[in-house]
Structure 1
Amino acid sequence: MAPTTHKTIKLNQCRISPTGDDDLTEKSLPLTLFDVQWLNFHPLHRVLFYEYPCSTTHFANTIVPNLKKSLSLTLNHYFPLAGNLLYPLNSGTPVLRYRAGDSVRLTIAECNRVSDFYNLSGHQTREADEFYNYVPQLPDSIIESGWEIIPVLAIQVTLFPECGICIGITSDHVVGDASSIADFINAWGSINKFGGDEQFLDGKCKPFYDRSVVKDLSGLAIKRWNHVRMRKNIDLSPVSGFSIPTNRVRATHVLTRDDIAKLKVFLFTKFTLMRPNLVHLSSFTIASSLAWTCLVKSESACREKIDDDEPEYFAFLADARSRSNPPLPPTYFGNCLASGFIVESTHGRLKGNEGFLIAAELIGELIRKKANDKNEIFKGAEDWMSNYEALSGKRVFGVAESTKIDIYDADYGWGRPKKFESVFIDRDRYSMSLIKSRDFEGGLEIGLSLPMILMDAFAGFFADGLKK
């Protein structure tokens, strides 16, 4: 799916298999209780822009061959990404499988408007549709021997001549969460930068694949698979309801360490007087509370009247690797996200003068009670899927990516990325990406995709929020 205005020229497409493909035996990974819930989810599009003046000749003769070689080496360590999701059409359970000959489709492209690089890699308001020129689509699935065989990764590398390079990565959520995909991106960058995988191996960053470490005493994986299988007969395609034009714009708002510290003091002062037991005021809590209330106020200011008692929901995930009992290795590859984090308020409360405090209390308390307690985080796990499905059609604001991951560490030998974007947040009603800031140590970047009128209003409320 691409915008109607094409500014990129696809130079060629190729398939990249892991190095030593003939020596790799067939490998498979069962889906855990964390993976199954992402079956039939929409593709995840991410882009990284690198400011790196480069001629077309140097790109074709040096950059591209190096990227192909390093990608092949990287896939040797991240074999599930070169494989496929096998989805049973009749009996059986889904599985991730790699076998000799499997590969990743790599598209090489060039943008004929260099000015787009500086526009798209900024923080300012930009047309959301333009980013789809730089992300690939996953190859079509095929039917074979009672299975639907579904590719899980596609990559596009686009040159902006004498200006920069964009790497676009599309993945199926079922193969891995943000942490796993970021590990792959960083590994590929390191291997490309150093011309081999020695540094990667020395850093003890190899992905961990042993699924036996994920304890599923209640058989939730099978229960969720049965649920998903029944839903598949009801639901439309996972990309249904999404099309271009999106009629949205994207913008990034930055919270510096000083901004966060000032807002934390403001909240502590308020809560000391009113709610002295509230203690969890992390950067995530502060950024999420501010963004949620700014969005609610923006909708109130720009749209038809919304009843004050209309429910508003904030939903987020928590990395469960360190929170599992026993903990999983930080390099565990796959999905490992606890999903039972939903807070509810009303439109009237959140748009009011105390909205920021109310949001911070709700989010902070939920994190304090659940995310930081290994005995609590998985309580109610059997209801995670149904609870999220119950939010369909309601006023929900969600979070993508993670403040624990530094995607700006992904250096391919061209320096740190100039800009990272989670393109896939266009597909949600409204959500934000939340990542570590590139330019401010201890800061955060809030990425948004909204209609222009809402984005303009949000910017005003956000600026006012920083004056507290």
Structure 2
Amino acid sequence: MEIRKISSEIIKPSSSTPEHLKSYKLSAMDRFALDISFSLVFYYSSVGACKNISDHLKKSLSETLTYYYPLAGRVKDEFSVDCDDYGVTFIESHVACKMSELIKQPKIELLEQLRPYNEEEMLTTAQANMAVKVNYFDCGGVAICVSFRHVVVDGSTAAYFVRNWAKVASGGSLIDIKDHVVFDCTSIFPSQDVSSMSKGQPDANDEAITEWFVFENSKIAVLQENIGNRPTRFEALLALMWGAMIDAYAKEDDPTVQIGALIPVNLRRKLDPPLPEQCIGNAVTIGMTAWPTKERAEYNKIVFKVRELISMVDEYVKNGFQNGWKTCIIDHAAMDRNSAMKMLNFSGTSRLPFYQTDFGWGKPVWCSAGQRSKNNNFVLVDTSDGKGIQVMVRLSKEDMAKFEQDPAILAYAS
């Protein structure tokens, strides 16, 4: 796949950011987030008769950045963002292939080429909070890739930003959300010393493999019925995939190994009053639990364990963050400090409005999300019909071979 850059320019907010808003405070949750970048890519089969696509996208992006002005800024230090309207890089490129060929059997190495920057360039060379690349295919299809810096944006912010940009591009207005995008989250998650807390590092592995697994609605319904107790789609698929990894390592006859799970929980709806879904920042805490491979992986018990963990988060929020905020809620009863731990990262974005992102030429035919530097990673996104779920799985070669041959994965996944 050959990609040729057509142009590159800086897009600034359509209105200058007022002086009193030029310093945006990072909350404790922001400061604890890994300083990495991640991308969302929206694929459109054809833009048809749309005229002046480039100017149309740039103008609407400029208008949207007026409301999301920290995204046009630069991280000043660990406490704040300088919102001095530096702007967002907007790159256009031509892709010498048909888009259908790319998304029929997506390869992470090819999808990475659709990004405006690779992950290292985004943070070092560009030092950007956000960047855009619009990729035009020979067939008339368009893939819009938007990259974000994680310490400023979480997945919810990113999804709603792109949807709202599309809303402006298709003739809508954001005036109704102007007071629901940027506000001081340090009042909820006050800044504190995080130097003693380990953020961890992106567990990069250049030899890891990324594959997409599609779970059709009918197969998910069967799985839910087999598990019982009415699990959500996320709970059912998490149990299936976590169970596959538990079974894989159980076969190695090492009873000391535990397979852990990191499960992000969006706090926006859990707070009282709730935070708007589209607000900037990181409003996510992490639940962590584990399953010993010496115990048989039973889906209904895994679902119960996940629900217990979410209940711990709910209780923590209900009690008003006693003893300060936490970035990780741990099921201590499940953790054996004397055991080796293999940790899996699960994230469910199936409730986010990816397929509502219509720039004026229809909804996307496919969306992809994630970052290459994070291994043992499972990212769940709705399929385009809103009924099934696709999962981007990134594992080592050895683990992927075990995972994709698991009988339950073969039974439920396409």
TM-score (norm 1): 0.75
Residue of structure 2 in register with 1:312 after alignment: 259
Partners of 1:433 and 1:286 in 2: CA distance:
14
Change (3 A) 1:364 1:212: closer
1:367 is matched with which residue?
A: 310
Question: Is 1:121–1:418's contact at 8 Å kept on the other side of the alignment?
Answer: no
Change (3 A) 1:381 1:109: farther
Q: How many residues align?
A: 403
Is 1:265 the counterpart of 2:225 in the alignment? yes
C-alpha deviation, 1:48, in angstroms: 1.6
Identify the residue that residue 13 of structure 1 maps to in structure 2.
8
In structure 2, relative to structure 1, the CA distance for the partners of 1:173 and 1:401 (3 Å cut) is: farther
CA contact (8 A) 1:190 1:411 kept: yes
Q: Offset of 1:95 from its aligned partner?
A: 0.1
Q: Give SS of 2:90's match.
A: strand
- Would the aligned equivalents of 1:308 and 1:347 in 2 still touch at CA under 8 Å? yes
- The change in CA–CA distance for 1:320 and 1:309 in structure 2 (over 3 A counts) is same
Query: Which residue does the alignment assign to 1:104?
Result: 88
Secondary structure of 2:222's aligned partner:
helix
**CA apart distance, 1:96:** 1.4
Kept after mapping to 1: 8 A contact 2:208/2:396: yes
Structure 2, unmatched stretches of 5+, are: none
- The residue number in structure 1 matching 2:102 is 120
Q: Identify if the C-alpha distance between structure 1 residues 358 and 380 changes in structure 2 by more than 3 Å, giving closer, same or farther.
A: farther
Asked if 2 retains the 8 angstrom alpha-carbon contact of 1:338 and 1:377, the reply is: no
Task: Please name the residue that 2:403 is paired with.
Answer: 458
Q: Which amino acid aligns with 1:265?
A: E
Please identify, of 286-295 and 258-267, the stretch whose mean Cα deviation from structure 2 is larger: 258-267
Task: Say whether residues 1:358 and 2:358 are aligned partners.
Answer: no
Match of 1:432 in 2: 378
Q: Distance in 2 between matches of 1:294 and 1:121?
A: 26
Alignment of 1:76-87 (within 5 A): 76-87=66-77
1:3 aligns to what? none
Report the CA distance shift for 1:376/1:120 in structure 2 as closer, same or farther (over 3 A): farther
CA distance in 1, matches of 2:234, 2:123: 37
- Secondary structure class of the residue paired with 1:222: coil
- Relative distance call for 1:431 and 1:140 in structure 2 (3 A) is closer
Secondary structure at 2:13 match in 1: coil
Alignment partners' CA distance in 1, 2:402 and 2:32:
35
Whether 2:151 is the aligned partner of 1:201: answer no
**Cα distance in 2, alignment partners of residues 36 and 188 from structure 1:** 26
For residue 49 of structure 1, report the CA deviation from its aligned partner.
Answer: 1.3
Q: Deviations over 1:357-378 (max 9, x none)?
A: 3322221222234347732694
Distance 2:320 2:207 in 1: 36
Distance 1:306 1:135 in 2: 42
Q: Give the distance between the partners of 2:124 and 2:133, measured in 1 at CA.
A: 19
- CA shift at 1:317, angstroms? 1.1
Alignment of 1:242-321 (within 5 A): 242=204, 246-256=207-217, 258-268=218-228, 281-298=231-248, 305=252, 307-321=254-268
Could you tell me how far 1:440 is from its partner in structure 2?
4.0
- Cα shift readout 1:196-229 (whole Å, capped 9, x = no counterpart): x43x335x4764322168434xx5x2222x447x
- The letter for the 2-side match of 1:43 is S
In structure 1, C-alpha distance between the alignment counterparts of 2:377 and 2:290, rounded to whole Å: 15
2:350–2:380 contact (8 Å) kept in structure 1: yes
CA distance in 1, matches of 2:219, 2:76: 47
Q: 2:113 aligns with which of 116, 119, 133?
A: 133
What SS class does the counterpart of residue 136 from structure 2 fall into? strand
> Could you say which structure has the higher helix fraction?
1
User: What is the Cα deviation at residue 330 of structure 1?
Assistant: 3.3
Q: Is the 8 A contact 1:15 1:103 kept in 2?
A: yes
Query: Distance between the aligned counterparts of 2:224 and 2:353, measured in 1?
Result: 22
The match for 1:188 is 165
| Shift in alpha-carbon separation, 1:51–1:298, aligned structure 2, 3 A | farther
The separation in 2 between residues aligned to 1:383 and 1:24, in whole angstroms, is 33
Unaligned runs of 5+ in 1: 1-5, 88-92, 143-148, 269-278
Partners of 1:207 and 1:97 lie apart in 2 by 20
CA spacing shift, 1:418–1:366, aligned 2, 3 Å: same
Match of 2:131 in 1: 154
Structure 1 contact 13–106 (Cα < 8 Å) conserved: yes
Whole-Å separation in 2 of the counterparts to 1:331 and 1:8: 33
Q: Percent identity?
A: 18
1:323 CA displacement: 1.1
Pairwise CA distance, 1:164: 0.8
Counterpart amino acid of 2:45? E
Give the aligned CA root-mean-square deviation in angstroms. Answer: 3.4
- State whether residues 128 and 246 of structure 1, in contact with CA within 8 Å, keep that contact through their aligned partners in structure 2: no
Instruction: Find the aligned partners of 2:361 and 2:313 in 1 and give their Cα distance.
Output: 41
